[in-house]
A and B are shown apart, each in its own frame.
Chain A
Amino acid sequence: DVKVTQSSRYLVKRTGEKVFLECVQDMDHENMFWYRQDPGLGLRLIYFSYDVKMKEKGDIPEGYSVSREKKERFSLILESASTNQTSMYLCASSQLNQPQHFGDGTRLSIL
């Protein structure tokens, strides 16, 4: 079974802090994704990575950056956290065009 592990289920940070959300997958998948989930909006893609050190912007990349130094790990970085980044963040991975597998999500609150 594919395992996608997000480092925290709940996280509370302060405005202006630099925040790191970590995601690790154990199936040697090429693709990894970071989504943001807000009520009534479904999931929106923040960034996508198709290989180590390769990334593409999704629909809402503003205020975020990502890092993929190793194939199994994909990090989402909030450079200077703001209250409008309070949300649920979901990481996913997939092998090429196969269905995406998701982690349990990180509920992030920015105070």
Chain B
Amino acid sequence: DAGVIQSPRHEVTEMGQEVTLRCKPISGHDYLFWYRQTMMRGLELLIYFNNNVPIDDSGMPEDRFSAKMPNASFSTLKIQPSEPRDSAVYFCASRYNHEQFFGPGTRLTVL
């Protein structure tokens, strides 16, 4: 198995632009998580899905952030409009038993 796949690995954009991050979870995993990593706050859970249904989005910072999971093999995290304070590494993870398997992350820089 290729593991959790995220794209792009790096994204540089200008303030105000729309950004879409993509994730393909491990086949057979029924939970998918989106995290954001910053120096100040560490790994923050933004939202998670179970069987493609959003369960808890209380970590989503504001309405500029949205996430979808149209099917079991794909999820997106969208930021519109992006702001410099959104610069961070965004991780997607899928879960089997008690263990979450993380993708390599997308490093987002908003200028």
To the question of whether A and B form a pair in one complex, the answer is: no
- Which B residues form the contact surface with A (CB < 8 A)? none
